Amino acid sequence: MSKFTKEMVDSYADKLLIGLTEEENKMVLEEFDTIDKTISIIENISGISELEPMMYCLDDIATNLREDVSLPSIPVTDALRNAGKTDGREIEVPKVVE
The predicted structure's pLDDT at residue 31: 94
The predicted structure's pLDDT at residue 64: 64
The predicted structure's pLDDT at residue 28: 93
E-assigned strand segments in the chain: 85-87, 90-92
Q: Residues of the chain whose pLDDT is less than 50?
A: none
Whole-model pTM above 0.75?
no
Q: Torsion-angle region of residue 39: left (phi > 0), alpha (psi -120 to 50) or beta?
A: alpha
Contacts 24+ apart (CB under 8 A), 62-68: none
Output the CA–CA distances (angstroms, integers) from residue 43 to 4, 36, 54, 88, in the order listed: 19, 10, 17, 61
